[in-house]
Amino acid sequence: MGSRLHVREIQSGPPLPYADDIRAFCKEYAELLDAQDPLRRFRDDFIIPSKKDLKRKTLFPNDGCVCVHVAETEETSDEECIYLCGNSLGLQPRSTRKYIEYYLRTWATKGVTGHFVPHDDQLLPPFVDVDEAGAKLMAPVVGALKSEVAVVGTLTTNLHLLMASFYRPTQERYKIIIEGKAFPSDHYAVESQIIHHNLDPKDAMVLIEPEDLDRPILDTEYILRVIDENAHSTALIVLSAIQFYTGQYFDIQRITAYAQSKGILVGWDCAHAAGNVDLRLHDWNVDFAAWCTYKYLNAGPGGMAALFVHERHGRVDLELAGSGTEPFRPRFSGWWGGDKETRFLMNNHFVPQQGAAGFQLSNPSVLDMNAVVASLELFSQTSMAEIRKKSLNLTGYLEHLLLCDPQTESSEKRPFSIITPTNPAERGAQLSIRLQPGLLDSVLESLDEDAVIIDERKPDVIRVAPAPLYNTYVDVWRFAQIFHRACDKALRARE
């Protein structure tokens, strides 16, 4: 995976060097890539933490001018840090403050009437309709119909709500298949659902473990074999669209179709995929999915999550009542999922809204929804296809700088390996870098000294994820220089 990929993607401007050209490792090369990046304008829409901010022990300088410095947070001339951690927490859009200020003003000046009264200068509709605004903007990000998406709750809560509807074990089909190394919250959710149905996870929970512990990747053929081995007894499969540790992007379309051909429902945790790769949840016939919004979707820590229910599962047909066929899919219900025409009648007769909206429980946090919409408005100004195109180039460039550096091109000299798949189609933005034993703490210390923000997974992995909307090729180039120096320093200290 070399620089040829980037050269082919550039449509205009001066020719750039090929993979075997040493100029690929010069800062000027990265600057040329940035100059020709069609998404470069979006960086200015985000607040990049400065080195000074990261080192300061207080939120504001100790000069008593808090109000002044609140404004300065968005307009600083201090040198910016290198932030490659969008897979953990995305950066704050500049517009987030404006959206939240408008919300606070509406609440302050309109009180309860803010639920229903529109305003000429509003950024979002009245409180009672904000969920629709979120769904409309979220749907194209994940390749769904608007009716198939709801911005609601939190990720694990949504997984529980969806499994309450889609996991209906029988004596014959009762198993759930999940990655052995799934994110712990997913593991806990699946395990507790099984226990909730008075089943034993030892019998009903199938863990797909890597065949080779030194290569923690789950090949598609291997996943399909596990499905075959458990097909007659499996009710549900819950997998990550992108694996949080390795960064592997699973073949959602193929796995979903294969499992469904065996009579198995399939749900996907898209936490690391939404806003990262070009999903097609509707076209791929996915049964259900859930994701958070604080990673690549930049809605802030613990931000409101979202869920997807394919239109065939979200239909409501009351004419079927009494016919022996369920008029709508059973689910845990709450008043905000009820039909909007009868929601405020308070008659205790639940009729769900059509689609994913019918899976909502309580009214959404309007404060949180403003943060979600502020970011999604930026996504609406481009497309996931364009974002993915830049991401392939950006992460490919990072990989090239790490693996093809003239000083450490030989793997024997290199004190690290990349455990993320080398095939760009099998990964998102993230590269997971495994360091030699004993190097992690020293490398992290060096990165911290240079204000490089990535994240770690003990005992020896760092995850680096360039986010296409705000990261640049120069960010990637600077990281590579600092990382190589950090590795050299750690090796010398170990000797």
Instruction: Please report, in range form, the residues annotated as the binding site for pyridoxal 5'-phosphate.
Output: 155-156, 183-186, 240, 269, 272, 294, 335, 363
Q: Which residues pair with 488 in a beta bridge?
A: none
Q: What's the rounded Cα separation, in Å, for the pair 234 and 170?
A: 10
Q: What does the CA dihedral 457, 460, 466, 470 come to, rounded to 10 degrees? A: 60
Q: Are 337 and 361 in contact (CB under 8 A)?
A: yes
Q: What's the rounded Cα separation, in Å, for the pair 332 and 326?
A: 15
H/E stretch holding 336: none
Q: What does the CA dihedral 363, 366, 372, 377 come to, rounded to 10 degrees? A: 110
Coil, helix or strand for 435?
strand
E strand residue ranges, 391-488: 416-418, 431-435, 452-453, 455-457, 461-464
Euclidean distance between the first and the last CA atom of the chain, given in angstroms as a whole number: 33
Q: What is the DSSP letter of 213?
A: T
Binding site, residues? 155-156, 183-186, 240, 269, 272, 294, 335, 363
Identify the CA nearest to 329 among candidates 162, 178, 488.
162
Tokens matching residue 330? 């059973």
SS (H, E, C) 368-392: HHHHHHHHHHHHCCCCHHHHHHHHH
Q: Which residues pair with 179 in a beta bridge?
A: 208
Coil, helix or strand for 358?
helix
Q: Are 398 and 476 in contact (CB under 8 A)?
A: yes
Tokens matching residue 444? 């992290």
Spell out the residues 6+ positions from residue 297 whose beta carbon is closer than 8 angstroms to its own.
Answer: 90, 141, 274, 275, 291, 303, 372, 375, 376, 379
Q: Are 96 and 69 in contact (CB under 8 A)?
A: no
Identify the CA nearest to 399 among candidates 377, 373, 421, 366.
421
Residue 7's Cβ-side half-sphere holds a number of Cα atoms within 13 Å equal to: 15
